[in-house]
């Protein structure tokens, strides 16, 4: 899948999970600082991404996600 | 253990205030706040755990290992456990230093022996994991 398509789907997930405006979300957007996502938000986003893309995101990789780009890259390698 | 809590928009500032207050109260210098390789907050001469939700900050400082978590009671979530159970898992994971990494961590059983609630705020769950059960709370 194209990274841009993955990013668009992730933006939908972020909008749904966090209720944030996602027009300005890019691969550089940080989860903790820019999106103010706490650990529960992160777990919910991972669950939603796993459902959306039909993959399992392993815990060690999930732990390392700091930016939206990190998540896009991980998913791109799997779908 | 002293559990500091307060509504502070600057959580980094709050942490420093908590440490300063602990030093003053106990006439010690617990040293600088740093993080280990796993990202667990550490002090040189005491144990510390930190949590925040919206503007509520909590910091627990103890002579024994500690993990603390806080969540608003009415938080809506899609996970299969209750918010209270989530704070128990988080408090335990912060105590071990591993943290909650992903959804699979919610399915692993964990010991509840040293997990307890601190009921000081009506709208929030504050959960602690520690062998140190002797705590005082302090509004900063």
pLDDT tens for the 140 residues of chain B, in order: 999 999 988 999 999 999 999 999 999 999 999 999 989 999 999 999 999 998 899 999 999 999 999 999 999 999 999 999 999 999 999 999 999 999 999 999 999 999 999 999 999 999 999 999 999 999 99
CATH of the domain at A17: 1.10.1200.10
Total structural domains within chain B: 1
Write down the ipTM of this complex.
Answer: 0.88
Beta bridge partners of residue B68, listed in sequence order: B128
Catalytic residues of A: 38
Domain count for chain A: 1
**Amino acid B28: pLDDT:** 97
CB atoms within 10 A of CB B140: 15
pLDDT of residue B54: 86
Of A39, A47, A57, the CB nearest to B100: A39
Structure confidence at residue A20 (pLDDT)? 86
Q: Do B102 and A38 touch (CB under 8 A)?
A: no
Contact A43 B79 (CB under 8 A): yes
- CA angle, corner A15, sides to A12 and A20, nearest 5? 150
Let me know: does A49 contact A11? Beta carbons within 8 Å: no
Q: Which residues of B touch A39 (CB under 8 A)?
A: 90, 99-100
Per DSSP, what are the bridge partners of residue B72? B124
- What does the buried/exposed string (b/e) look like for A3-31 if buried means 16 or more CB atoms within 10 Å of the residue's CB? eeebbebbbebbeebbebebeebebebeb
The tens-digit pLDDT sequence of chain A (79 residues) is 899 999 999 999 999 999 889 999 999 999 999 999 999 999 999 999 999 999 999 998 998 999 999 999 999 999 8
Quote the domain boundaries for residue B65.
2-139
Q: Which of B23, B24, B46 shows the shortest CA–CA distance to B34?
A: B46
Using the beta-carbon criterion (under 8 Å), do B99 and A63 form an inter-chain contact? Answer: yes
Q: Does A64 touch chain B (CB under 8 A)?
A: no
- What confidence score (pLDDT) does residue B12 get? 93
pLDDT for B55: 83
Token pair 């896009």: residue: A72
A47 vs B79: CB contact, 8 Å cut-off? yes
User: Strands, E, within chain B: which ranges?
Assistant: 2-7, 34-35, 41-42, 47-53, 56-62, 66-72, 115-117, 124-130, 136-139
Best of A18, A32, A43, A64 to disrupt the B interface (most B CBs within 10 Å) is: A43
Domain encompassing residue A8: 3-76
């Amino acid at each position: 899948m194209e990274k841009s398509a993955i990013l668009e789907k992730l933006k939908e997930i972020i909008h749904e999970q966090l209720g944030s405006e996602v027009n300005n979300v890019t691969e550089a957007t940080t989860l903790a600082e820019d999106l103010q996502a706490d650990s529960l938000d992160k777990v919910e986003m991972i669950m939603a991404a796993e459902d959306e893309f039909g993959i399992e995101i392993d815990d060690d990789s999930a732990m390392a996600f700091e930016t939206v780009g990190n998540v896009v890259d991980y998913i791109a390698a799997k779908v | 253990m002293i559990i500091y809590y307060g509504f502070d928009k600057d959580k980094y500032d709050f942490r420093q205030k908590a440490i300063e207050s602990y030093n003053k109260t106990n006439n010690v210098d617990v040293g600088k706040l740093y993080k280990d390789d796993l990202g667990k907050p550490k002090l040189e001469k005491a144990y510390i755990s930190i949590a925040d939700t919206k503007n509520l900050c909590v910091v627990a400082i103890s002579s024994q290992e500690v993990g603390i978590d806080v969540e608003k009671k009415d938080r809506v979530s899609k996970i299969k456990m209750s918010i209270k159970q989530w704070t128990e898992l988080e408090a335990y994971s912060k105590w071990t230093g591993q943290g909650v990494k992903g959804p699979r961590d919610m399915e692993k059983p964990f010991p509840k022996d040293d997990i307890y609630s601190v009921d000081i705020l009506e709208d929030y769950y504050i959960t602690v994991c520690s062998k140190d059960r002797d705590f005082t709370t302090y509004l900063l």
